[in-house]
Chains A and B, each alone.
Chain A
Amino acid sequence: MALEPPVDPLDRARRAARDADPDHWKEISNSIMSRLRSVVTPSDPILAFDERHTSVRDAEGSRTLVSARVVTAVLRRLMQGAPTHAPAEIRLTIAEERLTGVGVALVGSYGVDLIALADDLRADLMAAVAAQIGRDPDFGPGSVDIAFVDVVEGDPNCV
């Protein structure tokens, strides 16, 4: 009868250790994510405008402000929705509580017409900004800068 070669105990222990996974990882993962959500980054308020392009909402002069964090999140989701491009950076320029500029850096998909994509995206970004803070009369197409910083083969949201 053939004898099995003796297994090195350190090698066996190493293999067992490599195969070990924490059985309560989900709890730890949830706790990490909940801690991350409590890490609040500074965010500027942005003045909202009504349909008359004024920021004053009533006779008392009350105003509505929207956090830049909210606007950034909306723009991010908008730009993550297509396989042609993905956002690499989103910058909001705010002066005296007014949004004066949006700058986005994008990674495009190879083969896409980047100029046409930028034109479409600029209109979408402006509409998304308007949906969040109304129409500031000074915020126009020239306030939105789009830069393609890279192109990749395939969907930049995955590659």
Chain B
Amino acid sequence: MAARAPDPGPGTPSDEALVRAARVGDDDAFRQIVDRYGPGMYRYAMRLVGNENDAGEVTQEAFVSAWRSLSGFAGRSSLRTWLFRLVHRRAADLQRHRRPTPINDDLLSRLSKPATDNPLQHVLDVELVAALQTALDELPWHQRATWLLREVEGMSYEEIAEAMALTVGSVRGHLHRGRRTLAERMTRWR
């Protein structure tokens, strides 16, 4: 599976150049980091916490934390993995301190990109993604997070381990159980 880290493309600053500039206070460079990785982080937070406001808050806090601690980013992991680690931590903190909230179906449809050439497929996909979110929400936290990072964000086992502060073996275990449970829950859509 290909990782979903955006390719900056020719003439676009690399992550290293943006981090270097942001470290000396260049907030325009930091904005490019926000727009490069923020949508994925927000999408991850949204599916993990299931609430638009919380996901926005968690993403904001992750970026504020990144801005404050850029000098401590040693580049041992990729910038993307480091940012996902921050958003995962903030989401985990939030999860510990709140009561379960119902899933907002409207929010899920706002995450779905319309299929321009096939409206029926789009409707089906929206329903399918809503069913997936319901199934995800019933998964234990680590299974949900590992599944999202692997299957939606396209991270390697090593990157997930880094982002979630787990061992690779533990990531494999959570992912295996999560996949099995989700496959069972989604069978009625066959």
- Tell me the A residues contacting B by CB distance below 8 Å: 6, 9-10, 12-14, 16-25, 28-29, 31-33, 35-37, 39, 69, 72-73, 76, 80, 86-90, 107, 156-159
Interface hits, B74-131 → A, CB 8 Å: 110-113, 125-126, 128-129, 131
Q: Are A13 and B111 in contact (CB under 8 A)?
A: no
A10, B132: Cβ atoms closer than 8 Å: yes
Whether B25 lies near A73 (C-beta < 8 A) is yes
Secondary structure class of chain B's binding surface, majority of residues? helix
With beta carbons under 8 angstroms apart, the residue of B14, B24, B64, B111 that contacts A76 is B24
> Is the CB–CB distance between B31 and A14 below 8 Å?
no
Which residues of B from 1 to 35 have beta carbons under 8 Å from A?
A: 4, 11-14, 16-17, 20-21, 23-27, 30-31, 34-35
Q: Is the CB of A86 within 8 A of B20?
A: yes
- Nearest residue, chain A, Cβ from B150: A14
Total number of residue pairs linking A and B with CB closer than 8 Å: 129
Q: Contacts A39-B64, A76-B24, A158-B12 known; A20 to B17 CB distance under 8 Å?
A: no
By a CB distance below 8 angstroms, the chain B residues around A35 are 60, 64
Report chain A residues within 8 Å CB of B4. Answer: 18
Residue pairs across A and B with Cβ atoms less than 8 A apart, 17 shown, are: A10-B132, A10-B182, A10-B186, A13-B189, A23-B111, A24-B110, A28-B38, A32-B38, A32-B64, A35-B60, A36-B63, A76-B26, A80-B26, A86-B17, A88-B20, A156-B17, A159-B17
Q: How many residues of B contact A (CB 8 A)?
A: 50
Q: Is the CB of A9 within 8 A of B25?
A: no
Chain B residue numbers with a CB within 8 Å of A73 are 25
- Cβ–Cβ contact B110 & A22, under 8 A: yes
Q: Does B138 contact A (CB under 8 A)?
A: no
Q: Flag the segment in B41-49, B156-164, B165-173 that touches A.
A: B41-49
In the complex, the 6 A-B pairs of residues with the closest C-beta atoms, listed nearest first: A9-B189, A13-B132, A16-B125, A20-B111, A10-B186, A13-B128
